[in-house]
């Protein structure tokens, strides 16, 4: 059994090519792929940053051609041409397994540690199950990938710190305020940037929002969207005195708020902090405001610098996450290797069962066993067989996980005569061979 992964990602293909390959519903194509002889199991992971096919096969070369052809011609329901070949990468066996684990852990993502990829990987596996394209090997591989991602999140800080300006603002607000539910936010401006930031803050519980803008209509529109109240700029001094958070992003050549104006607003607040997020370029709030004791002013550059520091901190955690991936891959390798023992163990059990059943038939007739006696003898013989086989089967499984396990499996087949004709083994010797036999 070989594992093959073929695909393209943001690292190898431009967006327009990835867009052409992205299939809104890849399941019909996936069903066709696993119906072909070359591929036993398959999962398609299709996101905005990657399209990958993970497959198991008994014939690697044939599967390689089949999957490449599938990506080029079938997934997008049109021929993408030969240029797609240069954007495809391929991983086999251990490398393919490691790649799946790394993708699920977001170690191969454009934004390291981003959380969406794990959900997308789960969706891809769920889709493959639905299409009956995923079997025991890919099932185990993807379950291992999900467990690895969980471990990486729990044991490293690779996904801990926020990277977007809006999320950084939310984290800062949480360091300043006990909660956002009872806080008042003043939005100075009504543009898209401010809306994105306020959405993140609303997600963290912010409820009381006032929007002040030069154009009252736009203030009303944004206020309606975020459940706030709309105001004109003339109300700014009063609104500022009431606000706990100020989000400013308004097009103006000069700062709209000076230090004196903010200081005047602070006076009646009796030490209540004011968190100012200035997203305006040029700035809407004078830099001198920063010197005021209870004001925490962050402009776009400050927020970006925090986001960059967070990204650097995430990258420092990469090595620990990679080590976890390595450990988990070894576990999967061991499980996959143990699969080699399955046919031998199955044969061994079948042969033992045949012998047991035949011997039981041989003695049950002459002894004229009643139903209760027969059940007792059935139980006895089955129990004997199970106990006798338990140790060799366990040892075979363990041996199969090791590199030299193949030899042990061969010896087992020889010792128990498992490659003989099944009918021929139904007549075992009646008694133990003696030395002189």
Partner 1 sequence: MMAPLHQLGAALYLAAALLAWAGLALRSGRLERASVLVLAAGAAVHLAALASLHRADPPPPLTDPAAALSFMAWIGVLAFLALQRRARLAGLTVLVAPVAFVGAFAAALRAPAVSPAAFAGSGSWPHAHVLLASAGAALIGLSGLAGLLFLAEHRRLKSHRPLDAKLPLPSLEALDGVNRVALALGFPLLTLGVATGMLWVASERGTFWSGSVHEVWSTLAWGVCALLVAARFGAGQGSRQAAVAAVGGFAFLLFALIGVELLA
What DSSP state is assigned to residue 432?
Answer: P
Regarding 293 and contact with partner 1 (CB under 8 A), the answer is yes
Nearer to partner 1, 70 or 296 (CB): 296
| Smallest separation (angstroms) from partner 1 to the CB of 351 | 53
Regarding 161 and contact with partner 1 (CB under 8 A), the answer is yes
Rounded to 10 degrees, the C-alpha dihedral 353/358/359/364 comes to: 120
Window 345 to 384, contacts with partner 1 (CB under 8 A): none
- Mark the segment that binds partner 1 (CB under 8 A) among 102-110, 211-219, 297-305, 386-394: 297-305
Residue 126 and residue 332 in contact, taking contact as beta carbons nearer than 8 Å: no
d(CA 194, CA 176): 20
Nearer to partner 1, 34 or 246 (CB): 246
**Candidate list 177, 194, 201, 262; residue touching partner 1; CB under 8 A:** 177
* CA dihedral sign, ordered 354, 360, 366, 368: negative
3-state secondary structure of 431: coil
**Candidate list 298, 324, 329, 338; residue touching partner 1; CB under 8 A:** 298
d(CA 3, CA 98): 11
Nearer to partner 1, 157 or 214 (CB): 157
Regarding 315 and contact with partner 1 (CB under 8 A), the answer is no
Nearer to partner 1, 100 or 240 (CB): 240
d(CA 126, CA 44): 10
Among this protein's residues, is 78 annotated catalytic? no
| Smallest separation (angstroms) from partner 1 to the CB of 232 | 29
**Candidate list 294, 327, 373, 417; residue touching partner 1; CB under 8 A:** 294
Give all strands of the β-sheet with 229-232 in edge-to-edge order.
229-232, 208-213, 184-188, 245-248, 274-278, 295-299
Regarding 387 and contact with partner 1 (CB under 8 A), the answer is no
**Candidate list 1, 78, 309, 367; residue touching partner 1; CB under 8 A:** 309
Mask for 178-207, x = binds partner 1 (CB under 8 A): x-----------------------------
Report the half-sphere exposure of 374 (CA within 13 A, side-chain side).
14
**Candidate list 302, 333, 359, 401; residue touching partner 1; CB under 8 A:** 302
d(CA 120, CA 46): 8
Question: Residue 368 corresponds to which tokens in the numbers above?
Answer: 């004229």
CA 287 to chain centre: 42
Nearer to partner 1, 267 or 387 (CB): 267
Residue 40 and residue 34 in contact, taking contact as beta carbons nearer than 8 Å: yes
d(CA 124, CA 114): 17
Window 239 to 278, contacts with partner 1 (CB under 8 A): 266-268, 270-273
Regarding 154 and contact with partner 1 (CB under 8 A), the answer is no
| Smallest separation (angstroms) from partner 1 to the CB of 239 | 20
Question: Residue 118 corresponds to which tokens in the numbers above?
Answer: 């794990």
CA 331 to chain centre: 18
Nearer to partner 1, 209 or 297 (CB): 297
Question: CB neighbours (10 Å) of residue 234?
Answer: 8
Regarding 66 and contact with partner 1 (CB under 8 A), the answer is no
Q: Which residues bind partner 1 (CB under 8 A)?
A: 157, 160-162, 171-172, 174-178, 266-268, 270-273, 290, 293-294, 296, 298, 302, 305-306, 309
**Residues classed as catalytic:** 48
């Amino acid at each position: 059994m070989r594992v093959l992964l073929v695909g393209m990602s943001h690292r190898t293909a431009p967006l327009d090519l990835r867009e052409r390959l992205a299939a809104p519903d890849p399941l019909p194509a996936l069903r066709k792929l696993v119906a072909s002889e070359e591929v036993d199991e398959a999962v398609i992971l299709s996101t905005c940053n990657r399209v990958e096919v993970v497959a198991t096969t008994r014939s690697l070369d044939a599967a390689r051609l089949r999957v490449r052809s599938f990506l080029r011609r079938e997934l997008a329901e049109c021929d993408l041409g030969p240029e797609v070949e240069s954007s495809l990468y391929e991983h086999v066996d251990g490398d393919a397994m490691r790649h799946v684990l790394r993708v699920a852990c977001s170690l191969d993502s454009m934004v390291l540690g981003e959380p969406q990829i794990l959900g997308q990987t789960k969706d891809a596996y769920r889709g493959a199950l639905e299409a009956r394209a995923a079997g025991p090997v890919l099932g185990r591989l993807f379950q291992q990938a999900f467990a690895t991602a969980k471990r990486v999140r729990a044991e490293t800080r690779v996904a801990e710190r926020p990277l977007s300006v809006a999320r950084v603002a939310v984290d800062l607000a949480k360091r300043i305020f006990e909660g956002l539910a009872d806080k008042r936010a003043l939005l100075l401006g009504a543009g898209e940037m401010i809306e994105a930031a306020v959405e993140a803050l609303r997600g963290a519980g912010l409820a009381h929002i006032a929007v002040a803008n030069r154009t009252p209509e736009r203030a009303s529109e944004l206020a309606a969207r975020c459940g706030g109240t709309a105001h004109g700029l003339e109300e700014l001094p009063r609104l500022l005195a009431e606000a706990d958070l100020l989000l400013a992003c308004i097009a103006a050549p000069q700062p709209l708020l000076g230090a004196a104006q903010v200081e005047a607003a602070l006076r009646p607040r009796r030490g209540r902090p004011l968190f100012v997020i200035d997203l305006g370029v040029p700035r809407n709030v004078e830099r001198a405001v920063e010197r005021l004791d209870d004001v925490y002013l962050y402009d776009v550059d400050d927020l970006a610098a925090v986001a960059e520091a967070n990204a650097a901190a995430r990258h420092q955690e990469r090595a620990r996450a990679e080590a976890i991936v390595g450990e988990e891959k070894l576990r999967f390798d061991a499980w996959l290797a143990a699969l080699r023992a399955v046919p031998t163990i199955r044969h061994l059990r079948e042969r033992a069962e045949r012998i047991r059943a035949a011997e039981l038939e041989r003695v049950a007739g002459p002894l004229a066993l009643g139903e209760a006696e027969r059940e007792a003898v059935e139980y006895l013989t089955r129990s004997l067989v199970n106990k006798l086989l338990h140790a060799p089967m366990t040892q075979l499984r363990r041996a199969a996980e090791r590199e030299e396990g193949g030899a042990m499996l061969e010896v087992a087949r020889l010792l128990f005569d498992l490659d003989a004709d099944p009918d021929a083994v139904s007549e075992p010797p009646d008694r133990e061979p003696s030395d002189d036999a």
